Structure 1
Amino acid sequence: MGAVMPKNASADAGRLDFAALETLRLVHQLGSFTAAAETLDVNQSAVSYTIAKLRRHFHDPLFVREGGRQVPTDRCEHILGQVVEILDMLDDIAQPEAFDPKLSDQKVTIACNYYERILMIPKIVSALRRQAPRLSVEVINALGDGHLRLLRREADVLVGPFGRTESGFHSRRLYTEEYACFMDPEHPLAGKTLDVESYLALKHVYINYGGSWKSAYVHELEAAGHTLSPTITVPSPAGLGTLLANSDLVATMPRRLGQTMSGRLVLGESPFRGSFDLSVVWTARTNASAMHRWLRQVILETCRG
């Protein structure tokens, strides 16, 4: 690779390669030498050596440890602001211009959550295997910060209610979903229209997905000045069909997901529908890649409604 020699860097500081700058970017994204080493599949000492070399080159510590994380200095932020676009361009150049899915034995990683794993991933995987039988597919949790998994290069695409508008991200809408109430057929309000007062008085099972994530219907409810007081809180929709059966509990969850859970549950219209979009999201790094364009097209054709 060629060298990048910043202004004011001494001539004896040594040549600076793009691999070192890529390591700098990865530590910046992950906030950890250890995590960067795991992502690069190298020893932590190799990452430490590279950062030490960069510190000498730029005459700056680049990172300081605060609260268990490697926090970038202002100089580090400035350097990355200058070179990130170059690194992305090099990634694009390194990508093959053509891609034949029938011959590919590469690996693709999809970040998503429970909803997508139940309703979308089976169709996506089936389509991928038909077109690329030698392809390896990994599905990982997105939780509430799946975009970070894209930035950390832990995932190739992100599927779910995660549309991004910031610079460096691209997204395409798949379809629109909304929330509904689900309850046992013997529930006193089964099949009845729920107004706000009767809805809030229900014994709710609240799905807390973790992190900073909050369901769209909760945002809508709180924006109207109300507070939800759950009877039971669970970490995911898994097993809700069994939990709701033969009980006076009610769960508000995405309509399509609730309809797959149990034929015995009754769907009721919620006064807070919290409409939201499901999207496929990716970064500028993979935007021009032939393989990634094919992967995104398969997802769009399989899931778009």
Structure 2
Amino acid sequence: MALPDLNQLRTFVVLYEMRSLTAAADRLHVTQPTVSYTLARLRERFGDDLFRREGHVMVPTTRATQLFGPLHEALAQIDAVVSVPDNFEPAQFTGELMLGLTSIGEQTFLPPIMAALAREAAGPHLQVERLDADQVEDGLIRGTIDLAMTVSLIATPSLWRTRVRAVEYVALSSGSHPLPPTGPRMFADRRFVRVSARGGHVFPLRALSEHGLLPQVALTVEEYATVPAVLEATDLVVLLPRHVAEVFCGWFPGLRIAELPWPGQSTPVSLYTRREASLSPAQRWFRALVVGAVADGVDHTDRADPTD
């Protein structure tokens, strides 16, 4: 049986990313029947359905998922060889870039990123996608996001990763209701705000559980955005990363940071993208800009290593 040609493989890659026959046809500038015909040929060639329709979504099979990474990277390398090299000029780039951040990442990392874009006089349309920790890998591999930052450790050779910021946890409360000096009883009579771990910050919940403080949780919320205002108006306490607490104290000067009575570090914030060969010049530039804007000053010379 003849090997698939490049157009067939490109159709497969685009269909994997878009999960829709119609959307794939639009991106490839062909008709939907053409995509359907190509999919039938690919199914015959690989002896697998590759995609199964579930409602309006084409869901990839296990075989399709195995094929996607190597085929996507191979096509990207071919495109890089046959294309005329771009002299990328940030100031002339007005395309769209998709950045995956948690709510806490939006509050702490967007200001320095936007300031860095302004310094380079770059004018992309930056769209922020709210990130769930368990969706990072799929979004990056499919290309629905260009870059993501999370404390979740994603150990896969399919993605490029670099550490950008250490994460140390502290307690935050109102200055009107200060915490006592650090010690084993500093939380004895205090109530807590618990924030969802959807964004990957699992340390606070684990710490509350391990130290018997879960019964003292008075409020559970999905996002960090309203937490500083709640703290200022109550005697509640929240456990959160130091760099976020410092941002909140800038917004609400009446808040106070307290050191934890036990070790309070977790996995660092890491930046993830596709592998180097799969990135466009704009994506490479944006990745370097973000690292420079949010990194905590440690040496990042090893950041090109996909396994970090």
TMscore range, shorter length:
0.7 to 0.9
**Pair 1:141–1:271, CA change in 2 (3 A):** same
Unaligned stretches of 5+ residues in structure 2: 297-308
Q: Could you tell me how far apart the structure 2 residues matched to 1:194 and 1:51 are?
A: 63
1:85-234 alignment runs, 5 A limit: 85-93=73-81, 94=83, 96-144=85-133, 145-187=135-177, 190-196=178-184, 198-199=186-187, 202-210=190-198, 213-219=200-206, 224=210, 226=212, 228-229=214-215, 230-234=217-221
1:39-50 alignment runs, 5 A limit: 40=27, 47-50=35-38
Give the conservation status (yes or no) of the 8 Å contact 1:180–1:270: yes
Confirm or deny that 1:238 pairs with 2:225.
yes
Q: Could you tell me how far apart the structure 1 residues matched to 2:99 and 2:203 are?
A: 23
1:65 to partner: Cα distance = 5.2
- The secondary structure found in structure 2 opposite 1:105 is coil
**Pair 1:17–1:191, CA change in 2 (3 A):** same
What are the Cα deviations for residues 143-191 of structure 1, in whole angstroms up to 9, with x where unaligned? 212232211201211123245442121122222121211122233xx24
Confirm or deny that 1:252 pairs with 2:239.
yes
- The secondary structure found in structure 2 opposite 1:237 is coil
Q: TM-score, normalised by structure 2?
A: 0.76
- The size of the alignment, in residue pairs, is 288
**Pair 1:137–1:46, CA change in 2 (3 A):** farther
Of 72-81 and 118-127, the range deviating more from structure 2: 72-81
Q: Could you tell me how far apart the structure 2 residues matched to 1:242 and 1:105 are?
A: 37
- The secondary structure found in structure 1 opposite 2:90 is coil
276, 290, 301: which is aligned to 1:299?
Answer: 290
- The secondary structure found in structure 2 opposite 1:83 is helix
Q: Could you tell me how far apart the structure 2 residues matched to 1:192 and 1:112 are?
A: 34
Give the conservation status (yes or no) of the 8 Å contact 1:124–1:302: yes
Give the conservation status (yes or no) of the 8 Å contact 2:179–2:186: no
- The secondary structure found in structure 1 opposite 2:187 is helix
Of 41-50 and 51-60, the range deviating more from structure 2: 41-50
Q: Could you tell me how far apart the structure 1 residues matched to 2:58 and 2:169 are?
A: 40
Partner of 1:24: 12
1:51 to partner: Cα distance = 2.3
Q: Could you tell me how far apart the structure 2 residues matched to 1:41 and 1:112 are?
A: 29
Partner of 1:10: none
Q: Could you tell me how far apart the structure 1 residues matched to 2:186 and 2:56 are?
A: 47
- The secondary structure found in structure 1 opposite 2:286 is helix
Partner of 1:11: none
Of 233-242 and 65-74, the range deviating more from structure 2: 65-74
**Pair 1:175–1:46, CA change in 2 (3 A):** same
Confirm or deny that 1:62 pairs with 2:50.
yes
Q: Could you tell me how far apart the structure 2 residues matched to 1:226 and 1:91 are?
A: 56
RMSD value, Cα:
3.6
1:249 to partner: Cα distance = 1.5
Unaligned stretches of 5+ residues in structure 1: 7-15
Q: Could you tell me how far apart the structure 2 residues matched to 1:105 and 1:288 are?
A: 17
- The secondary structure found in structure 2 opposite 1:199 is coil
